[in-house]
Amino acid sequence: MEIKKPKIASIPYDDFPDNDTLEQMARDMRSNGVNVVTGVLDDLINWGRSNSLWPLTFATSCCGIEFMALGAARYDMARFGFEVTRASPRQADLLLVSGTITNKMAPVLRRLYDQMADPKYVVAVGGCTISGGPFKKSYHVVNGINSIVPVDVYVPGCPPRPEAFFFGLMQLQRKIKVEKFFGGANKKEKKPEND
101 with 128: CB under 8 angstroms?
yes
- Contact between 129 and another protein (CB under 8 A)? no
Q: What number of other Cβ atoms are within 10 A of residue 146's Cβ?
A: 15
Stretch that binds another protein, among 13-21, 29-37, 134-142, 179-187 (CB under 8 A): 134-142
The closest alpha carbon to 150, from 184, 191, 182, 180, belongs to 191
Q: What is the DSSP letter of 152?
A: S
Q: What number of other Cβ atoms are within 10 A of residue 101's Cβ?
A: 25
Question: Site for another protein (CB under 8 A): which residue of 139, 185, 187, 189?
Answer: 139
Question: 111: which residues sit within 8 A by CB, 6+ positions away?
Answer: none
Q: How far is the CB of 108 from another protein (least distance, A)?
A: 6
Closer residue to another protein (CB): 37 or 108: 108
Question: Site for another protein (CB under 8 A): which residue of 77, 112, 124, 145?
Answer: 112
The binding site for another protein (CB under 8 A) comprises: 57-62, 64-66, 68-69, 72-74, 87, 89, 99-100, 102-108, 110-112, 134-135, 137-142, 147-148, 158-159, 161
